[in-house]
Structure 1
Amino acid sequence: MLSSGKLPMMSPDLVTEILATASDIALLVAPTRRVVTVLVNPHHRSFGQLADWEGARLNDLLTEESQRKFDLRLADLGSKTHGPMAVELNHVSAEAWDFPVRYSIHQISKDGSLLMLGRDLRPIAEVQQQLVAAQLALERDYEAQREADTRYRVLLEVSRDPVLMVSMSSGRITDLNPAAAVILGGSRVDLVGSAVAQEFDGRRRGEFLEMLANNAGSETAAPMELTARRSQRRVLVTSTLFRAAGERIVLCQIDPAEKQAAQTDDLAENLARLYHEGVDGIVFADAEGVIRAANEAFLNLTDAASMAAVRGRSIADYLARGAVDLRVLLDNVKRTGQLRMYATRLTTDYSGQIAVEISASWLNDRPNPVLVLVVRDASRAESLRRSGAGVTDEGTRSMMELVGSSTLKDIVAETTDVIEKMCIETALELTRNNRVAAAEMLSLSRQSLYVKLRKYGLLNKDGDQAV
């Protein structure tokens, strides 16, 4: 039989086994469209138990769309003399979920009985759904990228600030806006892709890229002043380094050098007006405290007739404690660079005195360092403190509480010690624990100050040796 090309006769059980394993699902349908037998592949258990299909009408197991499709295919099958026909149908179950199956329909008898061998299409459908979801995600990403690119392009086009992008790996310009093209003296087409170092006079690639990176990494670096090769314009370049898609890119902001010069001129003018018209006295002196220049407000504080009357004199001549105040000012400001709110008194040319607060700055980033003093009138604040203290001052209340419990002599002796200790502590604080300067400030000898420090317990553990 096999040699003649025909299959031998087989038992019904063997045929059933072959049909069940050759397909995922096999249906034997009677001419009345009722399912007679359901065979499920034992190796394909995703369908579950379908025994309830036997005896059911086939149309009840299909969706409405699949019912119409099945009827049309049966009509085509009836017009043919032989040959199977394939159709994809969607089944519905009692649990209200559907699944697609591709059937090969065979008419096995003249009475219209059908054998339907099906292949489960759910794995293919899942793959198709994944492909559709991936395609939709790609389209959304593409639209988002297009939107971001459009915003980026519009921003570059309308921005009045010249900017260009430079790739750190190649050293070439990757993009720039029209304002940058104008200031560099070329067109965007010519400049994109060109070596950025060649667009500026006297610059080599490696050195220039290193300058851009250093400028971007420093918080205090000033803009680089360069000359554009094509336009021969002096420009100021400020760089910002960032990483995009694994590549380091430098954003260069370009400003005309004349713009910076105009800003500098405005600053200089404003500072000059502040110096001449400000309410606080401003004094410029050398490293020894000799006055080089002073504004009108300082002349008013000291009752000086003119600038010539103060130029060349020492600041100590105008301080109530003279050289002691000057030494405290110079020692502190040279050590820290700044000194704020130093309280003292200023003497005038007519032997008057006025309470002031002095702030000092030491400008030593030049061959001849400069001491800058800002002198503020504190006489009104001092008078307010005096008038407002009254009996609310804690020290005054403490002294008043002694009245009636101690003699006047004891009260005076006790308060004298308190005031003396406070004065010594204040002098040490003003001189930053410089006992020599503190003794001069208090008009005491070093030995007398040392005795009082011991008396009031103001010596450190290592303070047995006076400074």
Structure 2
Amino acid sequence: MTSFKAPRLSLGNLDADATASVIAAASDIAIILTADGVIHDLAINAEDLARDLAAGTDWLGRRWIETVTVESRPKAEELLRDAVAGRTPRWRHLNQLAPAIGSVPILCAAVRLGTADRAVVFGRDLRPVSSLQQRLVEAQQSVERDYARLRQAETRYRLLFQISPEPILVVDAPSGRVVEMNPAAALLFGKAAKRMVGRYFPEAFAPESQDSVRLLLAGVRAGGRADETVAPLEPDGREVNVAVSLLRQEEGTTFLVRLSPARTDLPALALPRPKSKLLEAVEGAPDAFVVTDHEGRILTTNAAFLEAAQLVTEDQALGEPLGRWLGRQGVEMDVLTGTLRQRGSVRLFATTLRGEHGGTTEVEVSAVSVTEAGGRDCFGFAIRDVGMRLATAPNRAEPLRSVGQITELIGRVPLKDLVREATDVIERLCIEAALQLTGDNRASAAELLGLSRQSLYVKLRRYGLGDLGPEANQLEDS
């Protein structure tokens, strides 16, 4: 501890008021005590502390130890003894009684005032420090909880990684070297698995395929989108499907590589007899049937589609977009595929099928989305010719009666006809409701609807509502 070298010269002749100002400014609370510990005067320099301590209005003339909590009284007495004896002041933590909130933590030190029979207690409010400590503890607890959750999540995902039957490798994106692989991948690579960790990943494939694997990794890293390719392994030449996804982390980027047997490497499946008969029925069905990939490009068709599209062989259709033949406009195929991705199926979508030589056929399309083994979707389209049915369908004499019936016409009837039909349905429903409210009183119903009686009877006759009688004929003729 160091003291002022020349306090008389440095501080000059301070009077009592100046000394009081210095003492008050040096702490949050300053208490002047007599030698026997009675509070002679005090100053509180913080508004919130003065409010909580009620400004110490009833402290004057009381012993200081009576204003602190019971457990703090020995420390207060010790501070006072050290001050009277002229010992070096020490800071002690005391709890000062507060009427409103119970107690306030104060860090105190007591100093004797020269030769006077007085001592001054300097106090600092510890609540801001306690608040910071509490926030620090809460932050530490929150970090520990988050860390525990992360450890649990890491444990779960590591367990899934280890027990997954699919071969999975983690590859460092910048270097392309294998960081980790699961037991299924080790089983796939066999004896070579011991050398895989730390090895340049494309080197695990046949030399003629390494460039395609390198391009796959570079494309996924640049575009950020998952992609896949087929490549033979080194040295046995088994073809596998290589699916690569990009994982971004704080430490950098890694590839998650999934390996699965390529379709050409799978043994031919012997379908049960009923399933094989189902395939034969689809192939020979009079309705066209088409299977496309997730982009709408044709994978296979039956004979009925080739005939409707005026094609000679299936090779002419394979790989081509189905929208080349199906749909009145280019957007219809986008609507179909978009609905399939969202809902999984489409029923009775009305459109046209265009042939290679200019012929068109009115058709209804029902379609379904099926997920392939690689995780991508393929679409199956059942296309039925409804041209003959539309040509021979009688004119609809009875009007529609509900919104549901109108909804069923969407895609089959032009929009202007749908609007007209919807208007008729709403008008009919309003007239029926007015008649029900007025107890079938035609005059009151016409007034309720804002119509003349003549107009109401015309609409009643149009929609076939009720028995009109001779009065209606007289009104219509007038």
TM-score normalised by the chain length of structure 1: 0.52
| Offset, 1:179 | 1.1
Q: Equivalent residue of 2:354, what SS?
A: helix
Corresponding residue to 2:356 among 323, 334, 341: 334
Partners of 1:159 and 1:149 in 2: how far apart? Answer: 15
Identical residues among aligned pairs (%): 25
Write the deviation string for residues 158-216 of structure 1: whole angstroms up to 9, x where unpaired: 11111223343332334332212321346877534432222222214742413556998
Partners of 2:14 and 2:223 in 1: how far apart? Answer: 89
**Rg larger in structure:** 1
Given the superposition, is the C-alpha separation of residues 96 and 211 from structure 1 closer, same or farther in structure 2, using an over 3 Å criterion? Answer: closer
Write the deviation string for residues 314-338 of structure 1: whole angstroms up to 9, x where unpaired: xxxxxxxxxxxxxxxxx93437999
Gaps (5+ residues) in structure 1? Answer: 293-330, 343-373, 398-467
Does residue 105 of structure 2 align to residue 92 of structure 1?
no
Corresponding residue to 1:48 among 47, 50, 59: 50
Tell me the residue number matched to 1:132: 137
Tell me the residue number matched to 1:207: 215
Partners of 1:34 and 1:188 in 2: how far apart? Answer: 85
Partners of 1:339 and 1:250 in 2: how far apart? Answer: 49
Does residue 27 of structure 2 align to residue 23 of structure 1?
yes
| Offset, 1:153 | 0.9
Corresponding residue to 1:198 among 185, 203, 207: 203
Q: Equivalent residue of 1:27, what SS?
A: strand
Given the superposition, is the C-alpha separation of residues 192 and 260 from structure 1 closer, same or farther in structure 2, using an over 3 Å criterion? Answer: same
| Offset, 1:72 | 5.8
Letter in 1 for 2:137: V
Partners of 1:340 and 1:214 in 2: how far apart? Answer: 45
Partners of 1:338 and 1:163 in 2: how far apart? Answer: 50
Does residue 170 of structure 2 align to residue 168 of structure 1?
no
| Offset, 1:144 | 1.9
1:66 touches 1:90 (CA, 8 Å); kept in 2?
yes
| Offset, 1:101 | 2.3
Write the deviation string for residues 298-328 of structure 1: whole angstroms up to 9, x where unpaired: xxxxxxxxxxxxxxxxxxxxxxxxxxxxxxx
Write the deviation string for residues 62-95 of structure 1: whole angstroms up to 9, x where unpaired: 33443354356567x4997733232112323233
Corresponding residue to 1:58 among 56, 59, 64: 64
Write the deviation string for residues 320-372 of structure 1: whole angstroms up to 9, x where unpaired: xxxxxxxxxxx934379997869xxxxxxxxxxxxxxxxxxxxxxxxxxxxxx
Partners of 1:137 and 1:377 in 2: how far apart? Answer: 65
Partners of 1:73 and 1:289 in 2: how far apart? Answer: 107
Q: Equivalent residue of 1:179, what SS?
A: helix
Partners of 1:35 and 1:184 in 2: how far apart? Answer: 87
Partners of 1:228 and 1:206 in 2: how far apart? Answer: 14
Letter in 2 for 1:138: V
Partners of 1:110 and 1:189 in 2: how far apart? Answer: 86
| Offset, 1:38 | 0.6
Partners of 1:160 and 1:70 in 2: how far apart? Answer: 72
1:178 touches 1:188 (CA, 8 Å); kept in 2?
no
After TM superposition, list the pairs within 5 Å mapping 1:172-191 onto structure 2.
172-185=177-190, 190-191=195-196
Given the superposition, is the C-alpha separation of residues 336 and 141 from structure 1 closer, same or farther in structure 2, using an over 3 Å criterion? Answer: farther
2:310 touches 2:355 (CA, 8 Å); kept in 1?
no
Alpha carbon RMSD of aligned pairs, Å? 5.1
Tell me the residue number matched to 1:240: 245
Tell me the residue number matched to 1:151: 156
Given the superposition, is the C-alpha separation of residues 338 and 91 from structure 1 closer, same or farther in structure 2, using an over 3 Å criterion? Answer: farther
Corresponding residue to 1:106 among 101, 106, 111: 111
Tell me the residue number matched to 2:440: none
Partners of 2:224 and 2:168 in 1: how far apart? Answer: 14
1:84 touches 1:105 (CA, 8 Å); kept in 2?
yes
Corresponding residue to 1:116 among 101, 109, 121: 121
Partners of 2:215 and 2:157 in 1: how far apart? Answer: 30
Letter in 2 for 1:234: E
Partners of 2:274 and 2:224 in 1: how far apart? Answer: 30
Tell me the residue number matched to 1:257: 262
Q: Equivalent residue of 2:138, what SS?
A: helix
TM-score normalised by the chain length of structure 2: 0.51
Q: Equivalent residue of 2:356, what SS?
A: helix
1:100 touches 1:122 (CA, 8 Å); kept in 2?
yes
1:183 touches 1:233 (CA, 8 Å); kept in 2?
no
Given the superposition, is the C-alpha separation of residues 340 and 249 from structure 1 closer, same or farther in structure 2, using an over 3 Å criterion? Answer: farther
Given the superposition, is the C-alpha separation of residues 276 and 106 from structure 1 closer, same or farther in structure 2, using an over 3 Å criterion? Answer: closer
1:163 touches 1:254 (CA, 8 Å); kept in 2?
yes
Write the deviation string for residues 29-54 of structure 1: whole angstroms up to 9, x where unpaired: 3455442211234xx55533625143
1:85 touches 1:106 (CA, 8 Å); kept in 2?
no
Tell me the residue number matched to 1:35: 39
Partners of 1:128 and 1:243 in 2: how far apart? Answer: 36
Given the superposition, is the C-alpha separation of residues 269 and 123 from structure 1 closer, same or farther in structure 2, using an over 3 Å criterion? Answer: same
| Offset, 1:243 | 3.4
Tell me the residue number matched to 2:278: 274
2:35 touches 2:84 (CA, 8 Å); kept in 1?
no
